Amino acid sequence: MGEDGPNRGLAALLRPRVIAVVGASRDTAKWGRRVLESTSRAGFRGALYGVNPSVSDLGLPSVKTVASLADIGGPIDLAVLARPAAATPALIEECAALGVGAVLITASGFGELGGDHLATEQQMCTVAEAAGMRLLGPNTFGMFVASAGVNLTPREGIPAGSVALLTQSGNVAVAMYELARQAGIGFSACVGVGNQIDVGLGELMTHFAAQDDTAAIAVYVEGLRGSGEAFRAGLDACHAAGKPVVVLKGGRTALAAPAIATHTGALASDGRVWQAVLDAAGAIAVESIQDLTDVLAVASSVPPNAGRAMIITDGGGDTVMAIDAVTGAGLAGQAAARPGRARGSLSLAAPSPATRAALDELIPPNAPRTPARNPVTLDTAGGVEDNPMLLARCARVAAADDGVDVIVIGGLFGGYPRIEAGELACADDLVAVHYSGTPVVVQSAFALASPEPIRRLRQGGIAVLPTIDRLGRALAQTVSPVGRGTENDAAKTASGSGTPSEVLPAEQTARLLREHGIELPPMTLVADPAELASAAVAVSYPACLKIADTAVSHKSDVGGVVLDLADAAALRSAADRMWQRFPGSPLLVMPSLPRGAELLVGTGHDAIFGPFVLVGRGGIWAETDPDVAISMAPVTEAEAERVLLSLRCAATFTGARGTKPIDVAAVARLIAAVSRLAVAHPELSVEANPVIAYPDGYAVADLRASARAAGHGSGQQDP
């Protein structure tokens, strides 16, 4: 069923009134016992049953012990199966017969093992779907929903807050609990999706997008079951609700794919395609659990357009490091930003003359002053150690400047116990500034110690992190999330390496492109000297001759391309030499094109998310220096232009360093047309490389298409 299953609602699962734990025990070390205890202590106000035919009384006052599910004698919203895999299918049948609303399956040993185990998993789905019963798992560590008083996990003391954590790993959840506690954030819910045979990440994101007690969503994902449609819909629902989604994708490298398959039985998709999907929905991709926590803390309180930063610190060293953190993170964002996101918008704000004058009245006489008054350093006599309120007063002045989007406080806030009363007053004032419309973020060396001034800031919704580099990185990702796919992944996607496929003849590929409105220069395929003689009369000179053997993908590497042939005699001579080297190979005759900017435009099909279009630097550099961007197909011409201008080499398209600007609009039309071809023919991978772009149009110099072998598409990535 997976992400494609019918949406039958999640109320029975996430807001149950009657919970039955099958496999309940008196042994406090057993999972079935621990979740009964944790839910009892979580404030669950419904009916809680422990099911065990061998135990008459579990010894828990809030739990009624029964021998079987049928003995409950009434509706059951949620059955929790704390039983081995071998016992689970029969229990699913029993739950379906009793009209249970939802089932949480903890056991592993199903689809992630393949073979008969996968068949058993699919049969459980069939039974549940026929009964209108939802399944969470299998292979899940459980779930926690604060507002429902439900903690069906073996962990207690989960920090409360407004983040919904959706994860395929229980260990990731536990690590997040501890890091979130340090960062002063907490969770409205935590759901372990396991193998996602029914309830999946996409549907859960859609659910939590509509929950008032959830302000942000954190996702740890290794792969998805079924298509990616529900996942993309969930991302879109969160974006529409104004709730940031921060995603940690496990298994970004090819070496991780086997581990994913054995862990969750999910399909791993190419990292660049994942990034394109996340970028399109405004989600934030991170690379570690620490970054996931940091970005959640910042994204929960800073809007995505807050890119111009005002820095205020209480020390010279903190000032220097803050400049490095903000400008360094901003430049990184600018270099790597992907389509659909603002390009590298984190930078130092330029305060207005009025702001600079107002700050001059506040900055102590002996404190350093930069010409722009950004950053502001308050570490001399009469500074923060004498009067903590200076921080708040400077922040208020900065907040009144329309050119300031976010205020970064750095240094030792909270570390002056002698003047704690002043720091508490400052904290209250900074919170007021934060809610006045200009967000405040704070770096303090005392963040992990959490003295009362720090707690006051966090209670007021201000993110506080312990180091300025972590704060700068989290702020940059919040303002302008950047692509994290490896360049090697990009090269594989561009070249289609490792994919079983059948290469189409050149004339068939050319016909396909022309049918989709893509302009091509005249191309003639010749197989012998007689056909060459006819082509030599029709071709425009100077001409180009290429080997057209479908087994050769890199023609220039094997000397299979000859340019600038002046006349028919030169063409015949070049053909004779090429046939000597490649006997029997067909040759392609076409005009020799003028030089220009070389691009690659191609299509592919991801096993999870479907067709995509890839745009990048072309020619011989497509794989040696990959500079590519991926967007899910189809794209509009406006979107195609943004994709094109997101490349590292984009400056050369607009006339930088004396280069001739290209016809961006024409190339965008080409990209949009190729993206439509990707949708129309998802079974094909089509590549135009190089596309030579000129100031007044473009020309496709070479093309290649391949059809995926029958049965392909269930693996990691269909390039």
Domain range summary for the chain, segments of one domain joined by +: 2-139, 144-299, 309-439, 487-498+595-708, 524-591
Where is pLDDT greater, at 489 or 689? Answer: 689
> Which residue type does 391 have?
L
Instruction: Look at residue 35 and give its three-state secondary structure.
Output: helix
Position 252 scores a pLDDT of: 65
Is the Cβ–Cβ distance between 270 and 605 less than 8 Å? no
Q: Are 189 and 214 in contact (CB under 8 A)?
A: yes
Confidence of residue 490 (pLDDT cuts 50, 70, 90): very low
Whether residue 241 contacts residue 218, with contact meaning beta carbons closer than 8 Å, is answered with no
What single letter denotes the amino acid at residue 712? H
**Model pLDDT for residues 197-217, shown as the tens digit of each residue:** 999 999 999 999 999 999 999
Q: What percent of the chain has pLDDT over 90?
A: 70
Non-local (6+) Cβ contacts of 470 within 8 A are: 290, 294, 443
Residue 379's pLDDT is 86
For 83-119, what is each residue's pLDDT tens digit? 999 999 999 999 999 999 999 999 999 888 888 989 9
Q: How far is CA 320 from CA 79, 311, 314, 326, 434, in A?
A: 57, 10, 11, 10, 24
Helix (H, G, I), strand (E, B) or coil at 612: strand
| Token pair of 644 as six digits | 């094109």
> What pLDDT is recorded for position 134?
97
Q: Which residues lie closer than 8 Å to 693 by C-beta, 6 or more apart?
A: 596, 597, 598, 599, 653, 662, 663, 666, 667
Tell whether the model's pLDDT for residue 43 goes beyond 60: yes
What pLDDT was estimated at residue 551? Answer: 74
State the fold for domain 524-591: Dna Ligase; domain 1 (3.30.1490)
Q: How confident is the model at residue 120 (pLDDT cuts 50, 70, 90)?
A: very high
The pLDDT of residue 620 = 65
- Mean of per-residue pLDDT scores for the chain: 87
CA nearest neighbour of 336 among 626, 70, 54: 626
pLDDT of residue 586: 92
Q: Which of 715, 483, 494 is nearest to 603 (CA)?
A: 494
Mean pLDDT of 503-513: 88
- Please, which pLDDT band fits residue 338 given cuts at 50, 70 and 90? very low
- Cα angle at 360 between 358 and 364, to 5 degrees? 130
Give the pLDDT band (50/70/90) at residue 480.
low
Confidence of residue 709 (pLDDT cuts 50, 70, 90): low
Could you tell me which residues are beta bridge partners of residue 48?
Answer: 19, 63
Please state which of the ranges 121-135, 159-173, 540-554 shows the lowest mean pLDDT: 540-554
Q: How far is CA 302 from CA 187, 372, 428, 444, 571, in A?
A: 18, 24, 18, 18, 64
- Residue 345's alpha-carbon distances to 109, 341, 373, 437, in angstroms, are 47, 10, 20, 18
CATH of domain 487-498+595-708: 3.30.470.20
Q: Which two tokens stand for residue 332?
A: 């990184």
The CATH classification number of 2-139 equals 3.40.50.720
For the chain, the C-alpha Rg in angstroms (whole number) is 30
**What percent of the chain has a predicted confidence (pLDDT) above 70?**
88
> Residues 26, 29, 32, 34: what is their CA dihedral angle, to the nearest 10 degrees?
100
Strands 308-313 and 284-286: unpaired
Q: Which of these, 552, 573, 549, 551, lies nearest to 562 by C-alpha position?
A: 573
Among residues 560, 587, 582, 605, the alpha carbon closest in space to that of 706 is found at 605
* Total Cβ atoms within 10 A of residue 488: 13
Q: What is the 3-state secondary structure (H, E, C) of 243-276?
A: CCEEEEECCCCHHHHHHHHHHHCCECCCHHHHHH
pLDDT at residue number 139: 93
How far, in Å, are 276, 499, 517 from residue 699 at the CA level? Answer: 27, 28, 13
Does the bond joining 375 to the residue before it have cis omega, within 30 degrees of 0? yes
Contact of 239 with 271, CB cutoff 8 Å: no
Q: Which of 387, 360, 384 is nearest to 374 (CA)?
A: 360
CA distance 517 to 503: 22
Residue 381: pLDDT band with limits 50, 70, 90: confident
Indicate if the alpha-carbon torsion angle 517, 609, 165, 210 is positive or negative: positive
Give the neighbor-by-neighbor strand order of the sheet with 561-565. 524-526, 587-591, 543-547, 561-565
Quick one: pLDDT band at residue 77, thresholds 50, 70, 90? very high
Mean pLDDT across 517-521: 93
* pLDDT band at 441; cut points 50, 70, 90: very high
Per-residue pLDDT band for 698 (boundaries 50, 70, 90) equals very high
Distance from C-alpha of 719 to C-alpha of 468, rounded to nearest angstrom: 40
**Helix H or strand E segment including 161:** strand 160-167
Q: How far is CA 261 from CA 167, 225, 340, 342, 620, in A?
A: 16, 11, 31, 35, 35
Question: How far is it, in rounded angstroms, from Cα 411 to Cα 426?
Answer: 14
Q: Closest by alpha carbon to 686, among 603, 598, 599?
A: 603
Q: How would residue 501 be classed by pLDDT, with cut points 50, 70 and 90?
A: low
Q: What is the pLDDT of residues 144-199, one digit of tens each?
A: 999 999 999 989 999 999 999 999 999 999 999 999 999 999 999 999 999 999 99
- State the pLDDT confidence band at 625, using cuts at 50, 70 and 90: low
Task: Write down the residue that tokens 């999907």 correspond to.
Answer: 277
> Which pair of structure tokens corresponds to residue 553?
């993908």
658-674 confidence digits (pLDDT tens): 788 999 999 999 999 99
Instruction: Report the alpha-carbon distance of residue 83 to residue 101 in Å, rounded.
Output: 19
Per-residue pLDDT band for 336 (boundaries 50, 70, 90) equals very low
Q: What is the mean pLDDT of residues 418-445?
A: 96
CATH number of 144-299: 3.40.50.261
Q: What is the pTM of this model?
A: 0.84
Given a contact cutoff of 8 angstroms between Cβ atoms, the answer to whether 604 and 614 are in contact is yes
- What are the distances in angstroms from CA 282 to CA 210, 249, 410, 525? 17, 15, 28, 46
Show the tokens assigned to 350.
């330029």
Does 487 have pLDDT greater than 70? no
Q: Which fold has domain 309-439?
A: Rossmann fold (3.40.50)
Residue 504 has a pLDDT of 86
The predicted pLDDT at position 502 comes to: 80
Is it true that 144-299 and 524-591 share their CATH fold? no
Give the SS3 label for residue 183. Answer: helix
